Protein backbone atom coordinates (compact mmCIF):
# COMPACT_ATOMS: atom_id res chain seq x y z
CA UNK A 1 0.00 0.00 0.00
CA UNK A 2 1.26 3.49 -0.85
CA UNK A 3 1.52 6.20 1.83
CA UNK A 4 -1.60 7.88 0.48
CA UNK A 5 -3.55 4.58 0.53
CA UNK A 6 -2.62 4.15 4.20
CA UNK A 7 -3.72 7.74 4.89
CA UNK A 8 -7.09 7.14 3.17
CA UNK A 9 -7.67 4.00 5.27
CA UNK A 10 -6.78 5.89 8.43
CA UNK A 11 -9.00 8.85 7.56
CA UNK A 12 -12.12 6.83 6.70
CA UNK A 13 -11.63 3.73 8.87
CA UNK A 14 -13.08 3.87 12.39
CA UNK A 15 -12.40 0.34 13.68
CA UNK A 16 -15.93 -0.30 14.97
CA UNK A 17 -18.22 0.97 12.26
CA UNK A 18 -20.69 -1.92 12.14
CA UNK A 19 -21.24 -1.63 15.88
CA UNK A 20 -21.83 2.12 15.62
CA UNK A 21 -24.28 1.73 12.74
CA UNK A 22 -26.17 -1.09 14.47
CA UNK A 23 -26.48 0.79 17.73
CA UNK A 24 -27.72 3.87 15.81
CA UNK A 25 -30.28 1.75 13.98
CA UNK A 26 -31.41 0.24 17.30
CA UNK A 27 -31.82 3.72 18.76
CA UNK A 28 -33.83 4.73 15.69
CA UNK A 29 -36.16 1.79 16.41
CA UNK A 30 -35.20 -0.22 13.30
CA UNK A 31 -35.53 -3.99 13.32
CA UNK A 32 -32.00 -5.30 12.59
CA UNK A 33 -33.45 -8.57 11.32
CA UNK A 34 -35.52 -6.76 8.69
CA UNK A 35 -33.27 -3.95 7.55
CA UNK A 36 -34.03 -2.15 4.31
CA UNK A 37 -31.82 -0.20 1.91
CA UNK A 38 -33.72 2.94 2.91
CA UNK A 39 -33.00 2.37 6.63
CA UNK A 40 -29.29 2.60 5.85
CA UNK A 41 -29.44 5.60 3.49
CA UNK A 42 -28.81 8.27 6.17
CA UNK A 43 -25.39 6.72 6.93
CA UNK A 44 -24.27 4.82 3.83
CA UNK A 45 -24.59 7.59 1.25
CA UNK A 46 -21.53 9.59 2.23
CA UNK A 47 -21.80 12.43 -0.26
CA UNK A 48 -23.41 15.85 -0.51
CA UNK A 49 -27.22 15.77 -0.31
CA UNK A 50 -27.28 11.99 0.28
CA UNK A 51 -30.07 10.10 -1.49
CA UNK A 52 -31.31 13.29 -3.22
CA UNK A 53 -28.16 13.57 -5.37
CA UNK A 54 -28.00 9.80 -5.92
CA UNK A 55 -31.45 9.97 -7.52
CA UNK A 56 -30.39 12.91 -9.70
CA UNK A 57 -27.37 11.16 -11.21
CA UNK A 58 -29.17 7.81 -11.49
CA UNK A 59 -31.84 9.51 -13.62
CA UNK A 60 -29.12 11.11 -15.71
CA UNK A 61 -27.56 7.67 -16.30
CA UNK A 62 -30.91 6.24 -17.51
CA UNK A 63 -30.11 2.91 -15.87
CA UNK A 64 -31.56 -0.35 -17.17
CA UNK A 65 -31.73 -3.80 -15.55
CA UNK A 66 -29.22 -5.12 -18.11
CA UNK A 67 -26.59 -2.48 -17.25
CA UNK A 68 -23.39 -3.57 -15.54
CA UNK A 69 -22.47 -0.73 -13.22
CA UNK A 70 -19.19 0.02 -11.43
CA UNK A 71 -19.13 2.43 -8.47
CA UNK A 72 -15.56 3.74 -8.08
CA UNK A 73 -14.84 4.78 -4.48
CA UNK A 74 -18.13 3.20 -3.39
CA UNK A 75 -17.57 3.65 0.35
CA UNK A 76 -20.03 1.48 2.28
CA UNK A 77 -21.92 0.71 -0.95
CA UNK A 78 -25.09 2.66 -0.17
CA UNK A 79 -25.52 4.01 -3.70
CA UNK A 80 -24.71 0.58 -5.14
CA UNK A 81 -27.47 -1.06 -3.06
CA UNK A 82 -29.97 1.67 -3.97
CA UNK A 83 -29.24 1.26 -7.70
CA UNK A 84 -29.41 -2.54 -7.55
CA UNK A 85 -32.71 -2.43 -5.70
CA UNK A 86 -34.36 0.31 -7.75
CA UNK A 87 -33.14 -0.64 -11.25
CA UNK A 88 -32.49 -4.35 -10.72
CA UNK A 89 -29.04 -3.97 -12.33
CA UNK A 90 -25.80 -5.57 -11.12
CA UNK A 91 -23.48 -3.14 -9.35
CA UNK A 92 -19.84 -3.72 -8.47
CA UNK A 93 -18.32 -1.29 -5.98
CA UNK A 94 -14.63 -0.79 -5.39
CA UNK A 95 -13.09 1.14 -2.50
CA UNK A 96 -9.69 1.54 -0.89
CA UNK A 97 -10.92 1.61 2.71
CA UNK A 98 -10.86 -1.98 3.95
CA UNK A 99 -13.35 -1.37 6.74
CA UNK A 100 -15.92 0.11 4.34
CA UNK A 101 -15.75 -2.97 2.14
CA UNK A 102 -15.98 -5.40 5.09
CA UNK A 103 -18.92 -3.55 6.65
CA UNK A 104 -20.46 -2.84 3.23
CA UNK A 105 -20.57 -6.58 2.46
CA UNK A 106 -22.27 -7.25 5.82
CA UNK A 107 -24.87 -4.55 5.16
CA UNK A 108 -25.47 -5.91 1.64
CA UNK A 109 -26.04 -9.37 3.11
CA UNK A 110 -28.43 -7.98 5.73
CA UNK A 111 -30.64 -6.34 3.07
CA UNK A 112 -30.57 -9.46 0.88
CA UNK A 113 -28.76 -7.96 -2.11
CA UNK A 114 -25.59 -10.08 -2.23
CA UNK A 115 -26.54 -11.50 -5.64
CA UNK A 116 -26.86 -8.00 -7.14
CA UNK A 117 -24.05 -6.08 -5.40
CA UNK A 118 -20.38 -7.12 -5.33
CA UNK A 119 -18.00 -5.05 -3.22
CA UNK A 120 -14.26 -5.26 -3.79
CA UNK A 121 -11.34 -3.73 -1.88
CA UNK A 122 -8.93 -2.00 -4.25
CA UNK A 123 -7.71 1.20 -5.81
CA UNK A 124 -9.40 3.38 -8.39
CA UNK A 125 -5.94 3.83 -9.90
CA UNK A 126 -5.52 0.11 -10.70
CA UNK A 127 -9.03 -1.21 -11.33
CA UNK A 128 -8.96 -5.03 -11.24
CA UNK A 129 -11.40 -5.30 -14.17
CA UNK A 130 -11.05 -6.06 -17.89
CA UNK A 131 -11.16 -3.36 -20.57
CA UNK A 132 -14.65 -2.54 -21.92
CA UNK A 133 -16.49 -4.41 -19.17
CA UNK A 134 -19.04 -1.94 -17.72
CA UNK A 135 -21.98 -0.03 -19.24
CA UNK A 136 -21.89 2.63 -16.53
CA UNK A 137 -19.20 3.91 -14.20
CA UNK A 138 -20.53 5.84 -11.23
CA UNK A 139 -18.34 7.91 -8.93
CA UNK A 140 -19.23 10.24 -6.08
CA UNK A 141 -16.86 12.16 -3.88
CA UNK A 142 -13.83 9.89 -4.23
CA UNK A 143 -11.43 11.84 -6.43
CA UNK A 144 -10.80 14.55 -3.77
CA UNK A 145 -8.36 12.02 -2.28
CA UNK A 146 -6.83 11.02 -5.64
CA UNK A 147 -4.03 13.23 -6.94
CA UNK A 148 -3.53 11.58 -10.33
CA UNK A 149 -6.73 12.72 -12.07
CA UNK A 150 -5.50 11.60 -15.51
CA UNK A 151 -4.96 8.02 -14.32
CA UNK A 152 -8.25 8.11 -12.39
CA UNK A 153 -10.30 8.97 -15.49
CA UNK A 154 -8.12 6.83 -17.80
CA UNK A 155 -8.90 3.76 -15.66
CA UNK A 156 -12.61 4.61 -15.73
CA UNK A 157 -12.50 5.01 -19.51
CA UNK A 158 -10.57 1.74 -19.93
CA UNK A 159 -13.19 -0.37 -18.13
CA UNK A 160 -16.16 1.35 -19.81
CA UNK A 161 -17.62 -0.28 -22.92
CA UNK A 162 -17.64 1.87 -26.07
CA UNK A 163 -20.69 4.14 -25.75
CA UNK A 164 -20.68 3.58 -21.98
CA UNK A 165 -21.42 6.43 -19.63
CA UNK A 166 -19.60 7.95 -16.68
CA UNK A 167 -21.84 9.66 -14.11
CA UNK A 168 -20.13 11.71 -11.45
CA UNK A 169 -20.84 13.93 -8.48
CA UNK A 170 -17.73 15.60 -7.15
CA UNK A 171 -16.09 18.33 -5.15
CA UNK A 172 -13.59 20.60 -6.90
CA UNK A 173 -11.32 23.50 -5.99
CA UNK A 174 -13.17 26.80 -6.28
CA UNK A 175 -11.96 30.25 -7.27
CA UNK A 176 -11.62 31.48 -3.67
CA UNK A 177 -8.88 31.14 -1.09
CA UNK A 178 -7.54 27.81 0.18
CA UNK A 179 -10.25 25.57 1.72
CA UNK A 180 -10.71 25.27 5.47
CA UNK A 181 -9.88 21.94 7.12
CA UNK A 182 -10.78 19.60 8.65
CA UNK A 183 -13.30 18.78 5.93
CA UNK A 184 -15.30 15.56 5.52
CA UNK A 185 -12.73 14.15 3.06
CA UNK A 186 -9.53 15.23 4.84
CA UNK A 187 -8.34 16.30 8.30
CA UNK A 188 -5.89 18.69 6.64
CA UNK A 189 -4.57 19.65 3.24
CA UNK A 190 -2.19 16.65 3.08
CA UNK A 191 -4.99 14.25 2.04
CA UNK A 192 -6.92 16.73 -0.08
CA UNK A 193 -6.05 16.77 -3.77
CA UNK A 194 -8.78 18.95 -5.21
CA UNK A 195 -8.61 19.80 -8.90
CA UNK A 196 -10.34 22.79 -10.43
CA UNK A 197 -13.32 21.99 -12.63
CA UNK A 198 -11.32 22.82 -15.75
CA UNK A 199 -8.45 20.55 -14.67
CA UNK A 200 -10.91 17.69 -14.09
CA UNK A 201 -12.65 18.37 -17.40
CA UNK A 202 -9.29 18.27 -19.22
CA UNK A 203 -8.47 14.90 -17.59
CA UNK A 204 -11.90 13.51 -18.52
CA UNK A 205 -11.48 14.62 -22.13
CA UNK A 206 -7.93 13.26 -22.28
CA UNK A 207 -9.29 9.87 -21.18
CA UNK A 208 -11.47 9.76 -24.31
CA UNK A 209 -14.72 10.67 -22.57
CA UNK A 210 -16.92 13.46 -23.88
CA UNK A 211 -18.77 15.51 -21.31
CA UNK A 212 -22.47 15.84 -22.07
CA UNK A 213 -23.72 17.55 -18.88
CA UNK A 214 -21.84 19.40 -16.12
CA UNK A 215 -24.15 20.98 -13.56
CA UNK A 216 -23.03 23.11 -10.62
CA UNK A 217 -24.78 22.33 -7.31
CA UNK A 218 -23.16 24.79 -4.91
CA UNK A 219 -26.14 26.65 -3.44
CA UNK A 220 -28.36 23.59 -2.90
CA UNK A 221 -25.42 21.73 -1.36
CA UNK A 222 -24.63 24.55 1.08
CA UNK A 223 -28.34 24.86 1.99
CA UNK A 224 -28.62 21.12 2.54
CA UNK A 225 -25.82 21.03 5.13
CA UNK A 226 -26.90 24.33 6.70
CA UNK A 227 -30.26 22.68 7.43
CA UNK A 228 -28.52 19.55 8.76
CA UNK A 229 -26.37 21.67 11.09
CA UNK A 230 -29.40 23.65 12.32
CA UNK A 231 -31.22 20.41 13.15
CA UNK A 232 -28.15 19.10 14.99
CA UNK A 233 -27.90 22.35 16.95
CA UNK A 234 -31.55 22.13 17.97
CA UNK A 235 -31.89 18.39 18.60
CA UNK A 236 -28.39 16.88 18.68
CA UNK A 237 -27.19 14.41 16.03
CA UNK A 238 -29.72 11.87 14.71
CA UNK A 239 -29.15 8.22 15.73
CA UNK A 240 -28.13 7.30 12.18
CA UNK A 241 -26.22 9.75 9.99
CA UNK A 242 -22.94 10.40 8.21
CA UNK A 243 -21.55 11.87 11.43
CA UNK A 244 -20.95 8.20 12.40
CA UNK A 245 -18.32 8.13 9.61
CA UNK A 246 -16.62 11.42 10.47
CA UNK A 247 -15.34 11.09 14.00
CA UNK A 248 -15.66 13.47 16.94
CA UNK A 249 -15.15 16.59 14.82
CA UNK A 250 -18.00 15.79 12.36
CA UNK A 251 -19.76 19.09 13.13
CA UNK A 252 -16.60 21.12 12.48
CA UNK A 253 -15.99 19.23 9.22
CA UNK A 254 -19.53 19.91 7.95
CA UNK A 255 -19.36 23.55 9.09
CA UNK A 256 -16.10 24.03 7.21
CA UNK A 257 -17.56 22.37 4.12
CA UNK A 258 -20.51 24.80 4.14
CA UNK A 259 -18.15 27.75 4.63
CA UNK A 260 -15.91 26.49 1.81
CA UNK A 261 -18.92 26.35 -0.51
CA UNK A 262 -20.23 29.78 0.49
CA UNK A 263 -16.80 31.38 0.02
CA UNK A 264 -16.13 29.57 -3.28
CA UNK A 265 -13.14 27.81 -1.76
CA UNK A 266 -14.63 24.60 -3.18
CA UNK A 267 -17.49 23.83 -5.54
CA UNK A 268 -19.58 20.76 -6.24
CA UNK A 269 -20.92 19.56 -9.57
CA UNK A 270 -22.48 16.50 -11.13
CA UNK A 271 -22.82 15.30 -14.67
CA UNK A 272 -22.41 12.68 -17.35
CA UNK A 273 -19.79 11.86 -19.98
CA UNK A 274 -19.78 9.22 -22.74
CA UNK A 275 -17.02 7.00 -24.05
CA UNK A 276 -16.78 7.68 -27.77
- When asked if residue 97 is in the footprint of ligand SAM (CB under 6 A), the reply is yes
Contact 28, 181 (CB under 8 A): no
| Nearest approach, Cβ of residue 148 and ligand SAM (Å) | 9
- When asked if residue 82 is in the footprint of ligand SAM (CB under 6 A), the reply is no
- When asked if residue 269 is in the footprint of ligand SAM (CB under 6 A), the reply is no
CA 238 vs CA 135, 197, 198: distances in Å: 37, 33, 37
- When asked if residue 107 is in the footprint of ligand SAM (CB under 6 A), the reply is no
DSSP string, the chain: --HHHHHHHHHH--S-HHHHHHHHHHHTT--GGG--HHHHHHHH--STTHHHHHHHHHHHHT--TT-EEEEET-TTSHHHHHHHHHH--EEEEEES-HHHHHHHHHHHHHTT-TTTEEEEE--GGG--S-TT-EEEEEEES-GGG-S-HHHHHHHHHHHEEEEEEEEEEEEEE-SSSPPPSSBTTBSSGGG--PPBHHHHHHHHHHTTEEEEEEEE-HHHHHHHHHHHHHHHHHH---SSSGGGGT-TTHHHHHHHHHHHHHTTSEEEEEEEEEE-
Options 25, 43, 85, 100; binder of ligand SAM; rule CB under 6 A:
100
- When asked if residue 123 is in the footprint of ligand SAM (CB under 6 A), the reply is yes
Among residue numbers 168 through 197, which ones bind ligand SAM (CB under 6 A)?
185
| Nearest approach, Cβ of residue 35 and ligand SAM (Å) | 17
Among residue numbers 7 through 66, which ones bind ligand SAM (CB under 6 A)?
8, 12, 45-47
- When asked if residue 154 is in the footprint of ligand SAM (CB under 6 A), the reply is no
- When asked if residue 125 is in the footprint of ligand SAM (CB under 6 A), the reply is yes
Choose one: 30-38, 95-103, 173-181, 192-200; the region binding ligand SAM (CB under 6 A).
95-103
Options 145, 221, 256, 260; binder of ligand SAM; rule CB under 6 A:
145
Contact 30, 228 (CB under 8 A): no
Within a 10 A sphere around the Cβ of 71, how many other Cβ atoms? Answer: 27
| Nearest approach, Cβ of residue 155 and ligand SAM (Å) | 10
Options 141, 149, 173, 253; binder of ligand SAM; rule CB under 6 A:
141
Choose one: 25-33, 61-69, 92-100, 218-226; the region binding ligand SAM (CB under 6 A).
92-100
CB-wise, 35 or 125, nearer to ligand SAM? 125
| Nearest approach, Cβ of residue 123 and ligand SAM (Å) | 4
Choose one: 107-115, 140-148, 200-208, 258-266; the region binding ligand SAM (CB under 6 A).
140-148
State the residues that interact with ligand SAM by CB under 6 A.
8, 12, 45-47, 73-75, 78-79, 95-97, 100, 123-125, 140-142, 145-146, 185
Amino acid sequence: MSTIDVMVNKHYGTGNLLEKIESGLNLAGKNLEQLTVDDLAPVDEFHTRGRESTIEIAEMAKLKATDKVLDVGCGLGGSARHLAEKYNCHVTGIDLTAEYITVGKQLTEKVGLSDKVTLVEGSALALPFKDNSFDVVWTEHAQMNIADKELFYAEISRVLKPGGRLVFHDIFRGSGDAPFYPAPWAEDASLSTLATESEAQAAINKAGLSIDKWIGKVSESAEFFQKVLKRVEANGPPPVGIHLLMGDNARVKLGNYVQNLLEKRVCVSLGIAFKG
